[in-house]
Structure 1
Amino acid sequence: MEEMTENVCIVCSQAKKDGITIVSQFVCEDCESEIVHTNAEDAKYRFFIHRLKQIAVSK
């Protein structure tokens, strides 16, 4: 049985197995769900935008 490797999430900085890779950056399943369900007026939205900017910088 093949073992899944853990990746470090660019949002929460935790090592997780499940999530998505955008370009070359990993976003865990928990953060992905929270991002999708966060309203643009929520204070956390700005935090997510700041963390996701790493994707463009790392290209």
Structure 2
Amino acid sequence: MDTVAVQKTTLEKCIVCDEKKLTGIHLFTSFICSDCERDMVNTDTSDPKYKYYIDRLKSVKRS
């Protein structure tokens, strides 16, 4: 049986960097691009960027 891969072609705006990207995750109705997700996961809590990420995630709303 052959498997057909479907490639996503719609750009979505990341709630962290405000850039339109193809790949990432959805958190409720919000989109976080793969680059920002990777940076958030690897940022130490003592890093000033950590507070920035927390502030951006506050914009996430449940559907």
TM-score between both structures, scaled by the size of structure 2 = 0.84
Q: Matched residue pairs, number?
A: 57
**Matches of residues 10-21 of structure 1 in structure 2 within 5 Å?**
10-21=15-26
Poorly superposed stretches of 4+, deviation over 6 Å:
none
Give the aligned partner of residue 50 of structure 1.
55
Contact 2:8 / 2:22 at 8 angstroms: preserved in 1?
no
For residues 8 and 53 of structure 2, the distance between their equivalents in structure 1, rounded to whole angstroms, comes to 30
Query: Matched residue of 2:17: which SS?
Result: coil
Higher Cα Rg, which structure: 2
CA drift of 1:4 comes to 1.8
Gaps of 5+ in 1: none
Gaps of 5+ in 2: 1-5
Identity of aligned residues (%): 39
For residues 42 and 25 of structure 1, the distance between their equivalents in structure 2, rounded to whole angstroms, comes to 24
Return the letter of the residue paired with 2:36. Answer: C
CA drift of 1:51 comes to 0.2
CA drift of 1:42 comes to 0.3
TM-score between both structures, scaled by the size of structure 1 = 0.89
Cα RMSD of the aligned pairs, angstroms, is 1.4
More helix by share: 1
For residues 48 and 2 of structure 1, the distance between their equivalents in structure 2, rounded to whole angstroms, comes to 29
